[in-house]
Structures are given as structure tokens and as C-alpha cells.
Amino acid sequence: MASRRLLQVRWRNTLMTALVVLALFMLAAAGDFQAGREALERGDFETALREWRPLAEQGDPDAQYALGLMYAKGEGVPQNDAEAMKWYRKAADQGNPWAQLNLGNMYANGQGVPQNAVEAVKWYRKAADQGNPGAQYNLGGMYDNGEGVPQNDVEAAKWFRKAAEQGVSEAQHNLGVMYALGEGVPQDDAEAVKWYRKAAEQGVSEAQYNLGGMYANGQGVPQNDVEAVKWFRKAAEQGYPEAQYNLGVMYANGEGVPKNDVEAAKWYRKAAAQGHPEAQYNLGLMHYNGQGVPKNDVEAAKWFRKAAAQGHPGAQNNLGVMCALGRGVPQNDVEAYAWFSIAAAQGVTSAEVRDIVAERMTYEARDHAQRLAQQYWEKYVLPFQN
């Protein structure tokens, strides 16, 4: 029976920016500024620039912010981060929270200025204190990652909550992770499910995957494979590889859906193509056994090799078998010995299997195989150990 791999997946590093349409609709809509906004909505950047530049030069913070956006995006003017910074700063100094958010992002990313996490935090905090949800989310991320401030899960949870309560889906997901892991808040699976669901319903694939995992494991909700499949599928259809792999497992085991090896192979393949080692291993097994796909040793060896190269000990052992027998690959005792050696060192197979191969090798071949095994250990095992 294939096994699920269920992780609490984090999404903590994305900076939210003030989107042009969202932010401008929240700005004052009076006089010449309104004319500029209407021109922008028509895609008439020249007219928008003509309306806003005089206002910006006269000190209007909304026009200054809008002009900064145009330079940042290269709309109506050549793209210029330094000019964007100049106008954002003028608006931010007058208290415009959207300009403060974007100014923080410029410092966080080193756009138009040297990268400076402390300055980024300063501007995020100014905007967050005014209730700007993007800044609250970003400030939570800075505390979570210890960037520009000492790492502090309590502060991270506090700011994620403020953003989550304003509907920021990424913040909802991250708050769910913090409840699931008990980071900055008491561990509470029911609260984790609550926030995952809010984010999942807004289409966050990581939240959909995590919610599926909660249903699969019966954490914070009654165990329900049908619901698990539903949420795994939503994330999988967005291309999320962990969900694709787990959906394949559900089809392979007949959990929440009728058992269907063809569907299992389909979802394993999607995850495997994105580099998921467990999916690569399982897809190799399906080709080796002819389950859900035509029996094909060449394909089996191909997928075992991909998983083996990512440190999967079962795939390393199976690739040793393929090399020893010459199935799907040229028969090669030296390679077989090397793969068996590193698999045995990880407890997947016994050293006796390796030694059976060694018995038919010359002394020189065994010496070569032992050196190759050491190279494989350093390349295909050590980098993947926690």
C-alpha cells in the first residue's frame, strides 16, 4: 500500500504589493486626480501622467503614490525603481499607507535602494499600524523569518492574524500553520482547520493541501477520506506537487475514491515531473509492475534513477536491482554494488545483497565499486539528510 506524505506546508516569504487598481480605488477621487484615475482605467497612461504629475509636484500624496506606481511598472514612463522610490517616499512621509507598503517592499527587495530589512520593517510597521492588510502580512513575515527584527513567533502570529481577519488569504494560511504547529499560539488543530479553510476557499493551494491533510489524518475535523480527496484535488489541479502525489496515493489505495491505478499513475506522473521523489519512486514501481501503465523496465529505471538522485533509499535499492539484472539499463555490477551499498547503509536492504554481487566481481572492480559507493553517498545521501 502506498503511503501518504503529509506536511504542514508554510508559505511565508511572499511580499504583498499594493496593486494599482485596488489601491487607487481606495484613494481620494476628487478633481484632477479622478481624471487621471479614469485615464489609467482606459489604459491612457499619457493622460494619467499629465493629470497626476502637477498634483504630485504640488505635494498631493495620492498623486505622488500613483506616480511612484507608474515608474515602478513602467506605465507611461520608462521603468525606473529610483524614481518610484522617490515618489513613494514623498507619499509615505505624508502617511499614505500604500506608499509605505511599497516603500517597505523596495527596501526588502533592494529595488532602487540597497536592500535593507530594518528599513523595510520600519515602513511596513507604519502602514500596518494604519490597518493596511498587505503591510500587516509582510510585517508578520519579517517577524516569522527574523528579517530586520529578532525572530518572534508571537509577533508573527499577531500580525498574520490582523491581516487574516481582513481576508488576506496568505495570512490565513500562515496563521493556520502556526496553530497546527503551536508556534506563537497554543497548538490547536481546530483553529488550524478554521484558517486553512478560509484560505483554501480563496484558492491558496498550500492551504487546500493542508486542509486535505487534516481530513486525511482526522486532525481538528472527523477523519474523512472523501473530503481529503476533494481538497487534495483542488490543490493538485493548481499544480501543487505534494497534493498531486497524495491524490495518486488515494487512488492507489482506494481511499476516498474507487481504487484506480491509471489515475494513480496519472497523478504520480504530474508530481514526478515536478521533481517529487516519492512520486518518482512510485511511478517507477508502477512501470516495473505494469500497474496503471504498460510494464516498461526502461521507464521504471528512469524514474528510480531520478528519485535515487534525490536521496530516496528505496529507489537507490531498486536501481541497484535493475543494474544487477540488466533490466531497463545495461547490466553493471559496479553500479549495482554502489547503489546497494548506500541503500544498505540506510537500512533499506541488507549488505548480503551487495555481497552477492561482489562475489562475481574482480578485485579491481570491487575497489572501483567501493570508491563509487563513497561518491554516491556524498552526492545522493548526505545532501538529503536532515
Do the domain assignments include residue 75? no
- The reported pLDDT for the residue numbered 25 is 42
Question: Is residue 15's pLDDT more than 60?
Answer: no
Look over the chain and give the mean of its residue pLDDT values, rounded to a whole number. Answer: 92
- Cell 504589493 appears where? 17
Which residue would you say has higher pLDDT here, 8 or 376?
376
| pLDDT confidence bin for 3, thresholds 50/70/90 | low
Question: Is residue 85's pLDDT more than 70?
Answer: yes
| pLDDT confidence bin for 128, thresholds 50/70/90 | very high
Give CA separation, 346 vs 265, 270, 340, in Å. 27, 28, 10
Lowest mean pLDDT among 24-28, 106-110, 128-132: 24-28
Domain count within the chain: 1
Please, are residues 245 and 258 in contact by the beta-carbon 8 Å criterion?
no
C-alpha 135/C-alpha 102 separation (Å) is 9
Reported as type and span, the H/E element at residue 359 is none
Residue 342: phi and psi, rounded to 5, are -75, -30
What cell does 331 get? 547490466
Do the domain assignments include residue 289? yes
C-alpha 149/C-alpha 156 separation (Å) is 11
Do the domain assignments include residue 53? no
Question: Is residue 116's pLDDT more than 90?
Answer: yes
Do the domain assignments include residue 212? no
CA atoms within a 13 Å half-sphere pointing along the CA-CB vector of 372: 17
Write the pLDDT tens digit of every residue in 184-214: 999 999 999 999 999 999 999 999 999 999 9
Write the pLDDT tens digit of every residue in 265-276: 999 999 999 999
Which residue would you say has higher pLDDT here, 350 or 228?
228
Do the domain assignments include residue 61? no
Do the domain assignments include residue 295? yes
Do the domain assignments include residue 368? yes
CATH number where 300 lies? 1.25.40.10
- The reported pLDDT for the residue numbered 216 is 96
Which residue would you say has higher pLDDT here, 350 or 137?
137
**By percentage, how much of the chain surpasses pLDDT 90?**
87
Question: Is residue 323's pLDDT more than 70?
Answer: yes
pTM of the model: 0.89
Question: Is residue 386's pLDDT more than 80?
Answer: no
Do the domain assignments include residue 327? yes
For residue 299, the enclosing domain spans 277-386
